[in-house]
Amino acid sequence: MPYSAEHKQQIRSRIVECARVLFNRKGFTEVSIDEIMASAKLTRGGFYNHFRTKEELFVEAVAAYQDFNPADRWPELNFDSGRCGAAFARQMVDVYLSREHLDDIEGHCPMIALPSDVARASPGVKHAYRGLLERMAGMFAQSADASADAHVARRHGLALAALCVGGMVLARTIEDDAFREEIRAATRATAHDLID
């Protein structure tokens, strides 16, 4: 009896999630198809029922983060997706720059975990990565002054996104915990200044 379309989608989603975690943990080049499939508790042969290449899976793993809900991963942060404007942007800054996000290597946003891998990847991966950045910048753009035109709001959103991502990339590379915290705190305070 053939598997249902729903079952196939569940398997595909499981492969994508396992790959996302492994890519975050080890980077694209250090993760094999065998390792991904073992993590998903599937055989290597099953991989090709869903993806042609590891890079195709990488595209989907990066793009999947667009549907990420911080409340699902870090409920203690009390993320409320119903907020809007500046209140939503401040909340995004606080969650993105949270200690929970920094310490959760497997849950990192691909913009933090994979920038070097993406820079060397195919146009499809770069397109998915850009989609994440565009989405984040768009959310931050909503916090721009109401009188700002679309160009100014976009610039505001991109600056906030770059600040948050850059702050977390730097904090992730530092072993000294006090310095990591100083980077996060400085980034958070400056981002809040830009929103307020």
Taking residues 130-155, report their average pLDDT.
Answer: 88
Helices (H) and strands (E) in the chain, counts: 12, 0
Q: Which CATH number fits domain 68-195: 1.10.10.10, 1.10.357.10, 1.10.600.10, 1.10.3720.10?
A: 1.10.357.10
Summarize the confidence of residues 49-72 as an average pLDDT: 91
- pLDDT score of 2 more than 70: no
Crossing angle (nearest 10°) for helices 177-195 and 150-173: 170
Q: Model confidence at 131, in pLDDT bands (50, 70, 90)? A: very high
Q: What is the pLDDT of residue 1?
A: 52
Query: How many CA atoms, within 13 angstroms, populate the side-chain half-sphere of residue 152?
Result: 8
Tokens of 45: 């042969």
The residues of the chain that CATH labels 1.10.10.60 are 5-66
Encode pLDDT of 178-187 as tens digits. Answer: 999 999 999 9
CA atoms within 13 A on the CB side of 112: 26
Please return the burial class of 90, using the count of CB atoms within 10 Å of its CB with bins 0-12, 13-18 and 19+: middle
Q: What is the pLDDT of residue 134?
A: 95
Q: What is the CATH architecture of 5-66?
A: Orthogonal Bundle (1.10)
Structure tokens at 30: 């250090």
Mean pLDDT value across residues 86-98: 93
Residues forming CATH 1.10.357.10 domain(s) in the chain: 68-195
Return the percentage of the chain with pLDDT > 90, whole number.
Answer: 73
Tell me, what's the pLDDT at 146? 67
Q: At what angle do helices 177-195 and 85-96 cross, to 10 degrees?
A: 170
Q: How far is it, in rounded angstroms, from Cα 139 to Cα 141?
A: 5
Using a pLDDT cut of 70, give the percent of the chain over it: 98
pLDDT tops 70 at residue 53: yes
